[in-house]
Amino acid sequence: MEVIVYNGEDKGASLQTKPLPRITKPNQVIFKVKAAGICGSDVNLINGRLQGIGIPGVTIGHEASGVVTEIGSEVTNVKVGDRVALEPPLSCDKCRYCQRGKPNLCPEGGLKYAHGKTRDGGLAPFVLTDAKQVFKLDDDTSFLHGVLCEPTSDLMRAYAQMGHIRKDDALLVIGAGICGMIMATYLEEEGYTHVTVSQRSAPRRAIVAAQCPSVRVVDPETLDRERAENAGNREWGFDAIVDISGNGEAVQKAVHLLRPGGTLVLFGGCPAEARVELSPLLMVVNEWTVTSSLMQPNLFGKAVAAVGQMARNGRLHFDSLHIRTFPFAQWQTAFHHLATRQISKAVLLLED
């Protein structure tokens, strides 16, 4: 079968031929891929911006949905013919992190052992995985929407890290790529009434404004100006901020946009050389919390339900989210469109 392979740091990706996968363990599943997403991290991986993550020769792709074609003798959660989405990171279920509900930090799993990075992923006709890594889609959830389950599951972790937020709390999402748009959509769908999205790109701001009518959409300079105008006003600011931009400068400014008692969640992956300065005194007197979000520990099922609900409510139209589909054969064009920010996400469609 033809698959898209990571060639190594700064060496890009290529189309190669690999054997069809075979089940070798009783807990394994094979599914035929119907749709596979290309993530910004995939672009960063093949362009050498994710150093130390990924094994040369591995099949790329961690966002995939399809139909189960074969199961091992001990598999009970799915059957042949089920429509499923892939949860990419695996875990050992035995270490102190797994036992404490944090499989995303598993030393034998997480980023170290995930489909599309160190284990063959979804940019292929078939995927072999453990049964616990596939989740059944709702009957009315399309394969296209199934691709959005993985990024949504990551956002579910960021949402959980925001703490005990109220529906009328002031919330800020920094960055309006696909994850920022889904986060804003989810918050609006859940009934949060004071959501702001900050985005430098005017076209991206327009997309979010159309997608989320009740969300306030601004450029970063507007927030800088409002902060200056409210200097000394301890009631101004945001109760929770999620940085999805992965921009060190944005993170530096975000801390000072918090209200006392506020929480900043770092979601976007900043460059390794990025640094942020924090005043311990201001952290104490304001009781600010700075935390982070990595992958989707035990939240994939919740994400599948959330995607299904948002899709049923007409909130996940690909055109509105600026997502474009491509035939599998046009994978290079898809990567290029995403890398040059012509689209927010690319999805490859695989033929039967």
Query: Residues 199-240: pLDDT tens digits?
Result: 999 999 999 999 999 999 999 999 999 999 999 899 999 999
Of all residues in the chain, the percent with pLDDT exceeding 70 is: 98
Write down the pLDDT at residue 298: 87
Q: pLDDT band for position 51 (50/70/90)?
A: low
Lowest average pLDDT, out of 37-51, 159-173, 193-207, 307-321, goes to 37-51
Round to whole Å and give the CA distance between 145 and 136.
13
Q: pLDDT band for position 246 (50/70/90)?
A: confident
* Cβ–Cβ < 8 Å for 170, 263: no
Lowest average pLDDT, out of 9-18, 48-57, 296-305, goes to 48-57
Write down the pLDDT at residue 247: 87
Write down the pLDDT at residue 242: 97
Would you say residue 317 has pLDDT above 70? yes
Please compute the mean of the pLDDT values over residues 239-263 and round it to a whole number: 94
* Cβ–Cβ < 8 Å for 21, 127: yes
Write down the pLDDT at residue 107: 86
Write down the pLDDT at residue 113: 81
> Of 171 and 45, which is predicted with more confidence?
171
Strands 238-243 and 258-266, by their bridges, are parallel
Span 79-105, pLDDT tens digits: 999 999 999 988 888 899 999 988 888
Distances (CA, A) of 96 to 92, 99, 117: 10, 5, 23
Please compute the mean of the pLDDT values over residues 152-177 and round it to a whole number: 95
Write down the pLDDT at residue 52: 64
Span 112-127, pLDDT tens digits: 788 988 899 999 999 9
> Residue 269 half-sphere exposure, CB side, CA atoms within 13 Å?
15
Please compute the mean of the pLDDT values over residues 43-50 and round it to a whole number: 77
- Burial of residue 75 (CB within 10 Å: 0-12, 13-18, 19+) is buried
DSSP labels, 180-220: HHHHHHHHHHTT-SEEEEE-S-HHHHHHHHHH-TTSEEE-H
Angle in degrees, CA 16, 19, 25, rounded to 5: 135
> Quick one: how far is CA 48 from the chain centroid?
19
Write down the pLDDT at residue 50: 65
The DSSP code for 138 is P
